[in-house]
């Protein structure tokens, strides 16, 4: 069954439409430092504005633990949204109280208001169904319809994602529609050759993805901190690098399964090893099977894939028709250890088919390194949600919108 779309809601002029966005963006000194998720919400918000709806945007920001917290207020986010829309955006002082009531009551057709952080209310993320539903009912009184467009939270059964969509006529926004279409292509109908690039710190974060995609891909490239568990599983020493000893047998199982299926697992042949975890640490490029001979010997820390590996990964990525990438290749926040991530990102811009940046740290990395979203086939807004979708899990925020 397909997702319900905004068209299923009928005439929206003059109607109050609650839009659940994911505006959980980084802030520094009260200023948005990466507005990617705000930009991703614009098509749906603009579509509703143009249809004459009274648009009520709701979102979370950070983890304020069910109570108001000044550093997680949505004022700066609303300000950036206003700049991008080129129109005023009202900001409510609360989520379901008097401030929200006034903000909604004063909305004209085609105008936008942002209610305060959903997670200032314990009912939003409560494990208790009745508590979540009670909060959803408080939100629902502000709306005639609900549009769910925060893909980054559809894997969570939260009040504004699940119960609110049950209480009001609901549909998926264009962001969620695009995300599900892209991820469905990656899992069910990829064009070949199909390459998946996985990085980040831990193998355990990607186990489900590896298991679900191994029967579907042509090759799997492994970088980031998780590469050292793969190297160790092959019998190599990894010095003081990040290692998950409890995942070694699982990784050996994946290596064996890949060989049996004819899937190529490509591991680094060289690694940038530093004497300590620091931006200015002394470092050297070592063969992947000789990590303990470099800086600080057995305590050396691998912080990036090496140049030989980066070139090989780039070649394989750029020559693929479908690529999914999730997780940096190294500690990209430190310039000396960002080269591997940069090489993969640049190669992804040259994929002739569908090249997908899998959200989370990967999306943050490409922007931090100077790439724009428009250079890629798709930049996901939901790291965790994307991974769970690719693991084949049922996502409650999609099921409630008709996805099956």
Is 73 annotated to bind ligand?
Answer: no
Is 163 annotated to bind ligand?
Answer: no
Catalytically annotated residue among 4, 16, 20, 37: 37
Upstream peptide bond of 252 is cis (omega within 30 degrees of 0): no
Q: Is 37 a catalytic residue?
A: yes
On the question of pLDDT at 396 being above 70, the answer is: yes
* CATH-assigned architecture of domain 6-174: 3-Layer(aba) Sandwich (3.40)
Is 199 annotated to bind ligand?
Answer: no
Cα–Cα distance for residue pair 180/120, rounded to 1 Å: 29
Q: Are 395 and 389 in contact (CB under 8 A)?
A: yes
Catalytically annotated residue among 99, 208, 384, 402: 384
The residue written with tokens 């926004």 in the block is: 173
pLDDT tens readout for residues 178-220: 999 999 999 999 999 999 999 998 889 898 899 999 999 999 9
**Burial letters 18-55, b for 16+ CB under 10 A, else e:** bbbbbbbbebeeeebeebbbbbbbbebbbbbbebbbbb
On the question of pLDDT at 21 being above 70, the answer is: yes
Cα–Cα distance for residue pair 205/214, rounded to 1 Å: 16
pLDDT tens readout for residues 54-81: 999 999 999 998 999 999 999 999 999 9
Is 342 annotated to bind ligand?
Answer: no
pLDDT above 90 covers what percent of the chain? Answer: 89
pLDDT tens readout for residues 92-109: 999 999 999 999 999 999
Mean of per-residue pLDDT scores for the chain: 95
Catalytically annotated residue among 202, 208, 252, 402: 202
On the question of pLDDT at 364 being above 90, the answer is: no
Is 246 annotated to bind ligand?
Answer: no
Greater pLDDT, 223 or 383? 223
Q: Is 384 a catalytic residue?
A: yes
Is 402 annotated to bind ligand?
Answer: no
Is 333 annotated to bind ligand?
Answer: yes
Is 361 annotated to bind ligand?
Answer: yes
Q: What is the pLDDT of residue 328?
A: 96
| DSSP conformation class of 5 | B
Q: What is the pLDDT of residue 8?
A: 96
Q: Are 275 and 291 in contact (CB under 8 A)?
A: no
Q: Do domains 6-174 and 183-391 have the same CATH topology?
A: yes
pLDDT tens readout for residues 375-391: 999 999 887 899 899 99
With CA atoms as reference, report the closest residue to 394 among 216, 181, 169, 180: 180
Cα–Cα distance for residue pair 349/369, rounded to 1 Å: 13
Q: Is 86 a catalytic residue?
A: no
Within 13 Å of residue 229, how many CA atoms lie on the same side as its CB?
28
How would residue 236 be classed by pLDDT, with cut points 50, 70 and 90?
Answer: very high
| DSSP conformation class of 162 | I
Query: Helices 75-85 and 36-50: crossing angle, nearest 10°?
Result: 60
Q: Domain limits of the chain?
A: 6-174, 183-391
Catalytically annotated residue among 200, 360, 382, 383: 360
Chain centroid to Cα 154, Å, comes to 11
- Which helix (H) or strand (E) segment holds residue 221: the answer is strand 219-222
CATH of domain 183-391: 3.40.50.1260
**Burial letters 161-195, b for 16+ CB under 10 A, else e:** bbbbbebbbbbbbbbbbbbbebbebbeeebeebbb
Cα–Cα distance for residue pair 137/160, rounded to 1 Å: 10
């Amino acid at each position: 069954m397909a997702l319900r779309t905004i068209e299923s809601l009928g005439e929206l002029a003059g109607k109050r439409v609650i839009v659940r966005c994911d505006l959980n963006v980084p802030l520094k000194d009260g200023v948005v430092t990466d507005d990617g998720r705000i930009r991703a919400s614009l098509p749906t918000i603009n579509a509703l504005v143009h249809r004459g709806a009274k648009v009520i945007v709701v979102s979370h920001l950070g983890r304020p633990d069910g109570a108001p917290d000044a550093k997680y207020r949505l004022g700066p986010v609303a300000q950036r949204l206003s700049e991008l829309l080129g129109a005023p955006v009202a900001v409510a002082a609360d989520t379901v109280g008097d401030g929200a009531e006034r903000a909604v009551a004063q909305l004209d057709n085609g105008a936008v208001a942002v209610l305060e952080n959903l997670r200032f209310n314990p009912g939003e993320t409560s494990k208790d169904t009745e508590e979540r539903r009670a909060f959803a009912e408080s939100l629902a009184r502000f709306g005639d319809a609900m549009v769910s467009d925060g893909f980054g939270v559809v894997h969570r059964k939260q009040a504004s994602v699940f119960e609110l969509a049950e209480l009001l006529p609901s549909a998926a926004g264009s962001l969620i529609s695009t995300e599900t279409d892209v991820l469905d292509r990656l899992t069910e109908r990829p064009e070949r050759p199909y390459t998946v690039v996985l990085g980040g710190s831990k193998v355990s974060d990607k186990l489900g993805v590896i298991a679900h995609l191994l029967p579907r891909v042509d090759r799997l490239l492994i970088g980031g901190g998780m590469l050292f568990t793969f190297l160790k599983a092959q019998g190599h020493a990894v010095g003081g690098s990040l290692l998950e000893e409890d995942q070694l047998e699982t990784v050996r199982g994946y290596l064996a399964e890949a060989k049996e299926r004819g899937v190529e697992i490509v591991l680094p042949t060289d690694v940038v090893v530093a004497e300590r975890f620091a931006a200015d640490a002394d470092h050297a490029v070592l063969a992947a099977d000789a990590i303990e001979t470099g800086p600080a010997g057995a305590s050396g820390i691998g912080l990036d894939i090496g140049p030989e590996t980066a070139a090989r990964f780039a070649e394989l990525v750029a020559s693929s028709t479908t690529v999914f990438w999730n997780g940096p290749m190294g500690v990209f926040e430190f310039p000396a250890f960002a080269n591997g991530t940069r090489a993969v990102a640049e190669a992804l811009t040259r994929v002739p088919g569908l090249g997908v940046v899998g959200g989370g740290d990967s999306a943050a990395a490409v922007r931090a390194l100077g790439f724009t979203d428009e250079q890629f086939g798709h930049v996901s807004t939901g790291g965790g949600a994307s991974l769970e979708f690719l693991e084949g899990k049922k996502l409650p925020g999609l099921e409630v919108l008709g996805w099956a």
